[in-house]
């Protein structure tokens, strides 16, 4: 039993029980230690059970804790008898059974490792995520292909798993983000960005290339900021712009032509679309017309012409009509081409003409200004002296006014300048202060991130070391256990051999006894017969027969008594064992403790009743 106790104590120490070094068997366990051990075991098996590991002074609370532990054991499937008394007034054998049951249910090595590794490094987290995903995939039922769009299966918790389905390769395209610092002038670049640069999501040729293109753009920016793709040159920009302009003008022209054609069908047709429409219309209409013509002809000339002539004429007419339409068609096509050409030349000329008109307007304005000045000068010419005097007076007045204004300006300027200087000084000091604060903040942030990183590393190391420590100690104990188990098995084999030997001896003795008893019976019967035969004739023989009978009966009594003695000895041994087991239960001690606890509880009840009374009064 010592070995079992040692294993139990070692296991309890592993789960964090504070057992002193001197304690080597369960007999030495105090009530507090028993409760702590049981509570810790239950906490390790079912985290969050909430059973306190230390006993409170109040007796009622102690009983409640004992009952809670017993209940937890029963819930876990403990088959034996268990109650609060098992823990509060423990007897060694019951306690050993309960603790062995609990220790067997403690989480095994793999499970404890998992718990230890949970909050560790990124790789562990990824491994955990992988295992979770695979578990989810394994536990999910099969669904048909149409329930998984692109092979993505959405789970209830918002996560997804990829199961088959088509996938696209990583194909990226160069993207133009619109950031500045390019070859052309900033104005040009800005104008291009504002008006013509499409959004990045519109720059890709297929939607599934957007994400790869974004990833490539970012990676390229991070890896080689200097080796970015060359920015578009000003010329390219101009080309793109002219192309866009052309497209826009085409669009506008076609729109206007469409409107025109629909508005007035009699006016010359100008757009391809409208032409097509008209052609279709003519084609649809012509058979009807022809029919009508034929009908008329047949009605008027049916009498004079034969059927063949009519057929010929009809064919000729048709051919003529087709040729006419072809000519018309060709003419219209030519006209369209001509118009398109005109449109191109005109649209190319348009910006130039606009520019020219701008220049002309500007020159016109300049000329007008000059003309106004000249007119004024001409007005002054008739009376030159008076006018010159007037002008000089005006000039003098204006110079005096200027001087006055300059002095006034100086007056106002000096204090304002001073104020401005002061403000600038203040501003610069503030700016420097804010820069200093920002610098300090940045340094602190860096420090914080460094420290966080360090703490994380240390924690990781700590958990790793803990896991290693746990593994190492467990390995040791495992080998020790194995050794002990092998020793115990050896002892048991030896004991079994001894027992077998004893059993063999006992069997032999039984056999001997049986044969001796048989021999005795037979000799007695023979002696009895011989002496009985002689006893009828001889007195001596008669006496001998009587003596033989008494000898036999007394001997059998003796044997019976010996057997009874043996049985009594066995019974006394059994009784001694029973006494020992009863004494091991420490009934008297427990009785004393129970009576002491009862007294304490009575006292507590009385004090509570007294408190109740005082409150009631």
Partner 1 sequence: MEPKLSTEIMTGLKRMGNSTLVSDEVFVKSLQCGMTTITQPDFTSANLSSISSGSSKGDVVKEAHCALLSLFVESARLDLTLDSLTVFLETKANWPQTRCKMLADAYAACVSKVQACLSNISVHPPHIVDVQWSLNHNTKSSSNKQTTSSFVSVQFETEGLPEGQEDKLVKFECTLAELQDMVSKLKEALRQVEHIAHI
- Under the rule (CB under 8 A), what is the footprint of partner 1? 114, 127-128, 130-131, 134-135, 138, 145, 150-152, 158-160, 162-170, 175, 177-179, 190, 193-195, 197-202, 207-208, 210-212, 214-215, 217-222, 225, 445
Name which of 127 and 602 has its Cβ closer to partner 1: 127
261 near 274, Cβ under 8 Å?
yes
Min separation Cβ 152 and partner 1, Å: 5
Min separation Cβ 150 and partner 1, Å: 5
Name which of 224 and 307 has its Cβ closer to partner 1: 224
Name which of 134 and 509 has its Cβ closer to partner 1: 134
163 near 137, Cβ under 8 Å?
yes
For 187-223, what is the HEC assignment?
A: HHHHHHHHHCCCCHHHHCCCHHHHHHHHHHHHHHHHH
Name which of 141 and 382 has its Cβ closer to partner 1: 141
DSSP code string of 337-348? HHHHHHHHHHHH
Backbone φ and ψ of 302, nearest 5°: -60, -35
- The SS3 of residue 141 is coil
318 near 297, Cβ under 8 Å?
no
Name which of 208 and 553 has its Cβ closer to partner 1: 208
Min separation Cβ 202 and partner 1, Å: 5
Task: Please state, in angstroms and rounded to a whole number, the distance separating the CA atoms of residues 36 and 66.
Answer: 11
Name which of 120 and 261 has its Cβ closer to partner 1: 120
Min separation Cβ 172 and partner 1, Å: 10
Q: Which two tokens stand for residue 469?
A: 């420590």
Min separation Cβ 437 and partner 1, Å: 15
| Rg (the chain; Cα; Å) | 60
Among the listed residues 270, 412, 279, 420, the one whose alpha carbon sits nearest the alpha carbon of residue 337? 270
Q: Which two tokens stand for residue 264?
A: 């007035």
Min separation Cβ 596 and partner 1, Å: 52
Min separation Cβ 194 and partner 1, Å: 4
Residue written as token pair 């998984």? 148
Handedness of CA 549, 551, 554, 560 (dihedral sign): negative
Residue 161, beta-bridge partner list: 153
Min separation Cβ 477 and partner 1, Å: 24
Name which of 111 and 387 has its Cβ closer to partner 1: 111
Task: Please state, in angstroms and rounded to a whole number, the distance separating the CA atoms of residues 209 and 225.
Answer: 22
For 436-454, what is the HEC assignment?
A: HHHHHHHHHHHHHHHHHHH
Name which of 187 and 299 has its Cβ closer to partner 1: 187
Min separation Cβ 208 and partner 1, Å: 6
- Which helix (DSSP H) or strand (DSSP E) does residue 149 occupy? none
Name which of 127 and 573 has its Cβ closer to partner 1: 127
Q: Which two tokens stand for residue 470?
A: 């746990």
């Amino acid at each position: 039993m010592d070995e079992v106790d040692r294993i139990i104590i070692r296991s309890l120490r592993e789960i964090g029980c504070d057992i002193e070094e001197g304690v080597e068997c369960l007999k030495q366990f105090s009530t507090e230690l028993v409760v702590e051990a049981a509570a810790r075991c239950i906490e390790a098996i079912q985290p969050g059970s909430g059973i306190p590991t230390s006993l409170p002074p109040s007796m009622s609370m102690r009983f409640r804790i004992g009952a809670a532990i017993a209940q937890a054991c029963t819930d876990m499937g403990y088959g034996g008898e268990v109650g609060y008394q098992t823990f509060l007034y423990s007897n060694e054998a019951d306690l050993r059974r309960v603790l062995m049951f609990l220790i067997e249910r403690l989480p095994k090595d793999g499970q404890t490792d998992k718990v230890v590794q949970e909050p560790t490094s990124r790789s562990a987290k990824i491994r955990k995520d992988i295992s979770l995903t695979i578990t989810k995939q394994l536990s999910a039922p099969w669904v048909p292909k149409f329930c998984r769009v692109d092979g993505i299966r959405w789970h209830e918790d918002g996560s997804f798993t990829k199961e088959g389905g088509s996938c696209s390769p990583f194909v990226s395209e160069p993207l133009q983000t619109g950031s500045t610092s390019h070859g052309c002038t900033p104005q040009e670049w800005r104008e291009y960005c504002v008006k013509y640069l499409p959004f990045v999501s519109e720059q890709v040729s297929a939607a599934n290339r957007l994400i790869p293109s974004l990833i490539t753009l970012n990676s390229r920016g991070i890896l080689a900021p200097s080796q970015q793709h060359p920015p578009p040159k000003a010329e390219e920009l101009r080309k793109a712009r002219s192309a866009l302009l052309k497209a826009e003008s085409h669009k506008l022209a076609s729109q206007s032509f469409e409107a025109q054609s629909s508005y007035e069908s009699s006016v010359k047709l100008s757009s391809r679309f409208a032409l097509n429409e008209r052609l279709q219309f003519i084609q649809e209409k012509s058979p009807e017309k022809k029919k009508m013509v034929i009908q008329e002809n047949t009605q008027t000339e049916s009498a004079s012409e034969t059927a063949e002539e009519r057929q010929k004429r009809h064919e000729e007419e048709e051919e003529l009509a087709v040729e006419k339409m072809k000519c018309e068609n060709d003419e219209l096509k030519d006209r369209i081409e001509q118009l398109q050409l005109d449109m191109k030349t005109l649209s190319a000329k348009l910006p130039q003409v606009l520019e020219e008109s701008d220049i002309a307007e500007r020159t016109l304005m300049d000329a007008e200004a000059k003309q106004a000045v000249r007119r004024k000068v001409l007005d002054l010419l008739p009376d030159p002296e008076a006018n010159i005097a007037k002008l000089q007076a005006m000039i003098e007045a204006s110079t005096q006014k200027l001087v006055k204004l300059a002095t006034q300006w100086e007056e106002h300027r000096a204090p304002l300048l001073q104020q401005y200087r002061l403000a600038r000084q203040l501003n610069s000091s503030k700016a420097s202060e804010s820069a200093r604060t920002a610098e300090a903040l940045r340094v602190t942030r860096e420090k914080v991130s460094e420290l966080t990183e360090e703490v994380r590393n240390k924690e990781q190391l700590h958990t790793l070391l803990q896991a290693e420590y746990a593994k190492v100690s467990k390995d040791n104990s495992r080998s020790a256990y194995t050794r002990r188990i092998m020793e115990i098995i050896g002892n048991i084999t030896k004991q079994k051999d001894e027992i077998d030997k004893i059993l063999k001896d006992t069997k032999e003795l039984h056999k001997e006894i049986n044969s001796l008893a048989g021999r005795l019976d037979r000799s007695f019967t023979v002696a009895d017969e011989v002496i009985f035969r002689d006893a009828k004739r001889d007195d001596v023989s008669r006496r001998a027969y009587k003596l033989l009978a008494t000898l036999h009966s007394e001997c059998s009594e003796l044997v019976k008594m010996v057997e009874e003695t043996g049985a009594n000895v066995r019974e006394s041994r059994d009784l001694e064992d029973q006494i020992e087991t009863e004494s091991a239960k420490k009934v008297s001690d427990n009785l004393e403790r129970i009576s002491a606890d009862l007294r304490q509880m009575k006292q507590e009840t009385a004090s509570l009743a007294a408190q109740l009374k005082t409150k009631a009064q």
